[in-house]
Structure 1
């Protein structure tokens, strides 16, 4: 099971003099016994939980009247686990333990109680039931609901809110009756005797996942079957109905099999190894993980929820709009388009209230309308492809509205979706005045759009190997997740920014004239954030999935764009022209004294200027490296004095080490990475065949005019040789800057460390 993501949990919340803090439930052991002779049921439940990152009083929920409580084995007054109001409206309480427990500590909570009707909102066509009929015969129905508060696992057993997931072992027995009973569930059942079962629910189940019904065996009928899915393989199907219902279960199994095949073909692997459905005799239906209680007309809708709703689950009740929205859009064919009309009134689908307990009723109509707008913006095929990637990326876990927005914006490259989420999901009015977001281009940049200084090494962009809060840039580490970071600022003279998105793109080459949106979107990742006040700054982060991180040594340029409603970068602009664009064109390398590297840099004559030039800059108070410019065409250099053929070191046998590629054909070491070192002679020769180099004097600043016609991008090599007398631990920076005759139009930076440097690992 993956580690809990406390960022999805409600924040620490003061209530009745306590600081209610989120917990992660690690395990639940529950015993439920029903006595038919006395017509009662009792529960005895022990859960093991971990306090999240904040010390305080743990919060959870249970909608039963508690009789006894033990904390870490010590009896406690039940009033110490009272329900406390943490939000507006009815059924907005959670239970908060009147005790302060340390962040990261692990505890046990045991509760015992007589089962009764839950203190939940009991509307809907199929509510929770605990009832006895002559026989005596038991009916126990979990009866979960999205549209009614307090109707998930907490109705019957102690539970967390729906961001969390945890395993449950339930021992349930019916005594005091001779009537045989059956259990309908999506848990794994082990029969322990007559009317006695052990049910194991897996650790990926959230509190909204569990289907459980116990009924007298003579009141229900069942048929089993199976289907072979194109990706998952064989999946068992278990169908139930009420005795006397004329529905043909075998035919409905065939229907369900068809739905499962179509859904897996369109959106990716089914999460479970069986599918359970129960025709409950009521209208509509309710989804569970790999299961549903349903009517016949709702079977297709509820089956689709095994992908969007219970295969990927909403991270909170405020996020629960998107599963009904996309499923309703799918019910209509998933091919209808209707452009957004920004003259329409704002629509709130996601309130962002952390303790909201109901799915909004407009999730079906307004939510489906939102996805029709997305389809009109990006195309039906693109929307389907992106939603498949959303499912596959988050399968088995929670999905927040912000994460859905991040995936849609990053993968489609449609910046206008930020506006659509702002107005038609979060329900925000258009800002007036408009906020003005910006990132620094250099330490001295104060937010002006047009900036004439260094802009290719933004101090407000960096990469980390982990989401650890660090602010020092690290060169990406291949084979693992890395994390993009950006520090976004809102101009003090502007307005509050209710909502914005930062996109992160990576170009796997050095370039000098990246333009928006073509070089910035689509993006690798994005990060959505909220409520940035004028004059405030915020650090946002986004995961860079390991499979998209190139081999170590590859030169990368990180590009970021900050986008808010009514505050987009202008089309065709560059970083130096737009303050809400930023780039980090930085390579960090280790280089032994006398060793050289060549960074290939792509340049172009953007404005068709007749006198483009390159400049090499070095820090005056640091060791000055020997630098040369490399090109395959001698005439590239306007003043060719001193040109000489590029010297490529001879290949020595010890340099031809082979890399283990996990069973694939070994790859010679010199073919890995984008920075060409003197220990990679074949690659140097292959990238710059027959090239010449122009040695430059070891000066802090030197300009080289070049012959570069318009619309003719080319690659020039920046060759850096570490000084032979460089001291161990020395470091220096070299910049290659491009001019168009009037201003800077691009640059790259190379930070070189000689062995023995004491610095943060990069």
Structure 2
């Protein structure tokens, strides 16, 4: 009996891994304790009906419940049906205590342990049908994310979790009701069942901001399939696709030059593949080993393959880090004796914040230039050298602002507490100023706010 008790306790401790250390705290809403959970595995079965212009997903999610209460997940689209441990249940959309976001709470209480939910949802976002010819209709669907707006990660499309969580994801993607073949781009391991049926397995360390999926008619886009020679001897498979051959040529030239620079600075390219969708629009967005981007923003997005989509922020309060690092590179790795500002709050928002502060580019870049000055003044080679060490230590993990600060202090053997307090946590801003939203005036050209029409054109 003692052995059985030991095995049960050991198994529960294994399931309660480090993902939950970064989860926001549980909270009460309507007298019910809402609990953030740890997704273990999710299987998404997605069907596109090209004849009737309808898409749906069935999601089977195994998760660990760390304490008794009501489990939390998120889906922007309202589910049509949910089962929990094979029993029908319901969900409710609730606000987080700080009103920073909303989540969905399952309305069945659970005890600590492993559970399984199945969720049926229409796939409404990021999908467009062309039904002009019967039996020859086609579909375009893109799982593209944005990190400056709330609820714009995977939860836009299928049920998911906050960004703190890593879990095994498998997608089964099928197009029915048409004779038209389709192509599928994805940043995982793809198995082609037939011309309209694909399965993809994502790496275990992926999060809700990692996934890249793009389903298109087979005759759309000019595609280049290449290999990039990494400094570690690997030949990295690279897919470049856009509307034009000349655009692909520009993308390839810039990508090769940027990858050579980044590998020299931080080490071998840290993903198994690279997908570049040349959009022709302004700005871009990074995923893990994939990006949809303009040529101008390509260097910025490739920098994110190291900082953002390999070393991952675990919440909105750590999202400023990767934008600050990439923006510092964008401006040529400048060095400042002081930031240009007195104090700003980039990393002291509510615990439930998911989106990145838009001021992270300009203010964060200035702070990185200041750190470079402090490190060089102390006799260290500078911030770029620290970032190389930081990357080697933290790759494929989630980080907070405090993790970054702690590693920086270990590297420099000096304290940066006052600097972060003033320049990152807003320690010298007035309280009312801390709460005030200054987001609208700080749009960055690499991550602009696209119109609905522009976003639709990506699909």
TM-score (norm 2): 0.85
Cα offset, 1:252, TM superposition: 2.4
Q: Secondary structure at the match of 1:47?
A: strand
Q: Is the CA contact 2:323–2:364 (under 8 Å) kept in the aligned structure 1?
A: yes
* Equivalent position of 2:68 in the other structure: 55
Runs (5+) with no aligned partner, structure 1: 118-127, 432-762
Cα offset, 1:401, TM superposition: 0.5
Q: Is the CA contact 1:378–1:414 (under 8 Å) kept in the aligned structure 2?
A: no
The answer on 1:106 being equivalent to 2:119 is no
Cα deviation code 1:522-557 (max 9, x no counterpart): xxxxxxxxxxxxxxxxxxxxxxxxxxxxxxxxxxxx
- Judging changes above 3 Å, is the alpha-carbon distance between structure 1 residues 369 and 33 closer, same or farther for their aligned structure 2 residues? same
* Equivalent position of 1:389 in the other structure: 389
CA distance in 2, matches of 1:349, 1:41: 38
CA distance in 2, matches of 1:89, 1:9: 17
Q: Is the CA contact 2:373–2:382 (under 8 Å) kept in the aligned structure 1?
A: no
CA distance in 2, matches of 1:248, 1:278: 10
* Equivalent position of 2:148 in the other structure: 147
Cα offset, 1:201, TM superposition: 1.0
* Equivalent position of 2:400 in the other structure: 400
* Equivalent position of 2:183 in the other structure: 182
Q: Is the CA contact 2:53–2:131 (under 8 Å) kept in the aligned structure 1?
A: no
CA distance in 1, matches of 2:138, 2:236: 32
Cα offset, 1:86, TM superposition: 0.4
- Judging changes above 3 Å, is the alpha-carbon distance between structure 1 residues 88 and 10 closer, same or farther for their aligned structure 2 residues? closer
- Judging changes above 3 Å, is the alpha-carbon distance between structure 1 residues 275 and 23 closer, same or farther for their aligned structure 2 residues? same
CA distance in 1, matches of 2:343, 2:220: 49
* Equivalent position of 2:255 in the other structure: 256
CA distance in 2, matches of 1:155, 1:357: 13
Cα offset, 1:327, TM superposition: 0.4
CA distance in 2, matches of 1:87, 1:33: 36
The answer on 1:356 being equivalent to 2:353 is yes
Which protein shows a greater Rg? 1
Q: Is the CA contact 2:59–2:118 (under 8 Å) kept in the aligned structure 1?
A: yes
Q: Which has the higher contact order (CA 8 A, sep 6+)?
A: 2
Cα offset, 1:187, TM superposition: 1.7
Cα offset, 1:173, TM superposition: 0.8
* Equivalent position of 1:94 in the other structure: 103
Q: Is the CA contact 1:13–1:20 (under 8 Å) kept in the aligned structure 2?
A: yes
Cα offset, 1:55, TM superposition: 2.4
Cα offset, 1:262, TM superposition: 2.0
Q: Secondary structure at the match of 1:258?
A: helix
Runs (5+) with no aligned partner, structure 2: 1-13, 431-459
Which is helix-richer, 1 or 2?
Answer: 2
Q: Secondary structure at the match of 2:52?
A: coil
The answer on 1:368 being equivalent to 2:365 is yes
Cα offset, 1:13, TM superposition: 1.5
Which is strand-richer, 1 or 2?
Answer: 1
* Root mean square deviation, CA, Å: 2.0
* Equivalent position of 2:336 in the other structure: 338
CA distance in 2, matches of 1:131, 1:319: 37
CA distance in 2, matches of 1:133, 1:276: 29
Cα deviation code 1:596-646 (max 9, x no counterpart): xxxxxxxxxxxxxxxxxxxxxxxxxxxxxxxxxxxxxxxxxxxxxxxxxxx
CA distance in 2, matches of 1:94, 1:398: 21
Q: Secondary structure at the match of 1:94?
A: strand
- Judging changes above 3 Å, is the alpha-carbon distance between structure 1 residues 64 and 430 closer, same or farther for their aligned structure 2 residues? closer
Q: Secondary structure at the match of 1:62?
A: coil
- Judging changes above 3 Å, is the alpha-carbon distance between structure 1 residues 247 and 14 closer, same or farther for their aligned structure 2 residues? farther
For 1:693-712, what aligned pairs fall within 5 Å after superposition?
Answer: none
* Equivalent position of 1:134 in the other structure: 132
CA distance in 2, matches of 1:225, 1:208: 26
Q: Secondary structure at the match of 2:359?
A: helix
Cα offset, 1:100, TM superposition: 2.7
* Equivalent position of 2:35 in the other structure: 21
Aligned length in residues: 410
CA distance in 2, matches of 1:341, 1:256: 31
Cα offset, 1:337, TM superposition: 1.1
Cα deviation code 1:403-431 (max 9, x no counterpart): 0011111211232x211100111111289
Cα offset, 1:352, TM superposition: 4.0
Q: Is the CA contact 2:98–2:350 (under 8 Å) kept in the aligned structure 1?
A: no
CA distance in 1, matches of 2:230, 2:42: 32
Q: Secondary structure at the match of 1:5?
A: helix
Cα offset, 1:18, TM superposition: 1.6
Cα offset, 1:186, TM superposition: 0.9
Cα offset, 1:87, TM superposition: 4.4
Q: Is the CA contact 1:4–1:164 (under 8 Å) kept in the aligned structure 2?
A: no
Q: Is the CA contact 2:76–2:155 (under 8 Å) kept in the aligned structure 1?
A: yes
Cα offset, 1:208, TM superposition: 0.2
- Judging changes above 3 Å, is the alpha-carbon distance between structure 1 residues 14 and 38 closer, same or farther for their aligned structure 2 residues? same
Q: Is the CA contact 2:344–2:429 (under 8 Å) kept in the aligned structure 1?
A: no
Q: Secondary structure at the match of 2:363?
A: helix
- Judging changes above 3 Å, is the alpha-carbon distance between structure 1 residues 315 and 232 closer, same or farther for their aligned structure 2 residues? farther
Q: Is the CA contact 2:49–2:176 (under 8 Å) kept in the aligned structure 1?
A: yes
Cα offset, 1:354, TM superposition: 1.8
Cα offset, 1:233, TM superposition: 2.1
* Equivalent position of 1:212 in the other structure: 213
Q: Secondary structure at the match of 2:219?
A: helix
Q: Is the CA contact 2:171–2:200 (under 8 Å) kept in the aligned structure 1?
A: yes
Q: Secondary structure at the match of 2:372?
A: helix
Q: 1:71 aligns with which of 68, 84, 90?
A: 84
CA distance in 2, matches of 1:254, 1:150: 34
* Equivalent position of 1:446 in the other structure: none
Cα deviation code 1:2-45 (max 9, x no counterpart): 93332211011122212122211110111111111110011111
Cα deviation code 1:246-268 (max 9, x no counterpart): 53424522432232232122112
CA distance in 1, matches of 2:179, 2:370: 58
Q: Is the CA contact 1:377–1:414 (under 8 Å) kept in the aligned structure 2?
A: no
CA distance in 2, matches of 1:23, 1:212: 25
For 1:476-555, what aligned pairs fall within 5 Å after superposition?
Answer: none
Cα deviation code 1:690-737 (max 9, x no counterpart): xxxxxxxxxxxxxxxxxxxxxxxxxxxxxxxxxxxxxxxxxxxxxxxx
* Equivalent position of 1:435 in the other structure: none
Cα deviation code 1:205-245 (max 9, x no counterpart): 11100111111122212101111211362211111113xx3
Q: Secondary structure at the match of 2:216?
A: strand
- Judging changes above 3 Å, is the alpha-carbon distance between structure 1 residues 289 and 430 closer, same or farther for their aligned structure 2 residues? closer
Q: Is the CA contact 1:223–1:250 (under 8 Å) kept in the aligned structure 2?
A: no
The answer on 1:85 being equivalent to 2:95 is yes
Q: Secondary structure at the match of 1:59?
A: strand
CA distance in 2, matches of 1:298, 1:361: 17
Q: Secondary structure at the match of 1:317?
A: coil
CA distance in 2, matches of 1:129, 1:414: 51
CA distance in 2, matches of 1:147, 1:341: 23
Q: 2:51 aligns with which of 37, 55, 59?
A: 37
